[in-house]
């Protein structure tokens, strides 16, 4: 799905401009993850997760960023999966964490070109189709729908009660495309997003409200990515609490049998 979006976006962005960063990011991230998996598991495994992460990083960062910045950001994303882990999975969305981190180091820009903002509007259904397909495959449709509904509702309300010029960009390219791409491909990251529908709805509400607040009151360009990291923290805490409850329940059962 991501390769399809890259193929559609490439002519508008310029293949010669995006290729160095995207290819170097995929290669470096893939080699790094393959080496780590080989050391950890004792066998060579295709680093599919690293390739997906590198594609996401490359498709979010501005196509004008130097190739080595995109590659380094992708390498940091892969490393974060192993450095910031909970009991069973990484805590943070790797691409989001790395982009936010390197924005402070390299002062990177984000154009979300992979969301097709500069492509003819006729291509927008492809973004919807690929995104809905992915969200359905990973069973995260409540997460996506709740986020998008809450996110756009908050900005719509703001346009009525305040100066609409302050939020009009949210409903135009590239911001509208970025929100869709974010919801479909970043928010739904299986290791860092909830499984149960009720938890998905809660997480989506948190991310949407935080993204809105960051845009309105802070003005940071990384408002979507920071918001998902806050949602990741909430989900990691929820998982840890659920694990503790299960351990206590098992301890009570063993005590009762004894």
- Dist CA 85 CA 250 (whole Å): 24
| Averaged pLDDT in 10-residue chunks for the chain of 258 residues | 96 94 97 95 93 98 96 97 88 97 93 94 93 97 98 97 93 96 97 97 98 95 97 95 86 74
- Dist CA 64 CA 128 (whole Å): 26
- What's the confidence (pLDDT) of residue 58? 97
CA atoms within 13 A on the CB side of 14: 7
- What's the confidence (pLDDT) of residue 253? 78
CB 180 within 8 A of CB 127: yes
- What's the confidence (pLDDT) of residue 87? 80
CB 205 within 8 A of CB 151: no
CB 117 within 8 A of CB 171: no
CB 177 within 8 A of CB 193: no
Helix (H, G, I), strand (E, B) or coil at 245: helix
CB 195: neighbour CB atoms within 10 A?
Answer: 13
């Amino acid at each position: 799905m991501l390769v399809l979006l890259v193929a559609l976006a490439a002519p508008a962005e310029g293949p010669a401009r995006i290729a160095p960063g995207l290819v170097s990011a995929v290669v470096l991230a893939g080699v790094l993850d393959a080496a780590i998996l080989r050391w950890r598991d004792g066998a060579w495994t295709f680093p599919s997760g690293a390739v997906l992460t590198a594609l996401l990083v490359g498709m979010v960062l501005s196509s004008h960023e130097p190739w080595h910045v995109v590659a380094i950001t992708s390498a940091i994303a892969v490393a974060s999966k192993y450095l910031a882990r909970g009991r069973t999975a990484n805590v943070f969305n790797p691409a989001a964490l790395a982009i936010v981190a390197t924005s402070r180091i390299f002062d990177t820009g984000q154009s979300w070109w992979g969301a097709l903002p500069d492509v003819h509007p006729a291509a927008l259904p492809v973004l919807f189709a690929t995104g809905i397909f992915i969200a359905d495959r990973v069973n995260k449709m409540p997460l996506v729908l709740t986020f998008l509904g809450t996110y756009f509702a908050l900005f719509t309300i703001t346009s009525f009660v305040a100066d609409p010029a302050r939020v009009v960009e949210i409903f135009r390219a590239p911001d509208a495309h970025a929100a869709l791409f974010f919801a479909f491909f970043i928010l739904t990251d299986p290791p860092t997003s909830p499984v149960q529908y009720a938890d998905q709805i809660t997480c989506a509400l948190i991310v949407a409200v935080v993204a809105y607040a960051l845009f309105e009151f802070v003005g940071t360009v990384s408002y979507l990515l920071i918001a998902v990291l806050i949602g990741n923290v909430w989900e990691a805490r929820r998982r840890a609490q659920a694990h503790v409850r299960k351990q206590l329940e098992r301890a009570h059962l063993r005590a009762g049998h004894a």
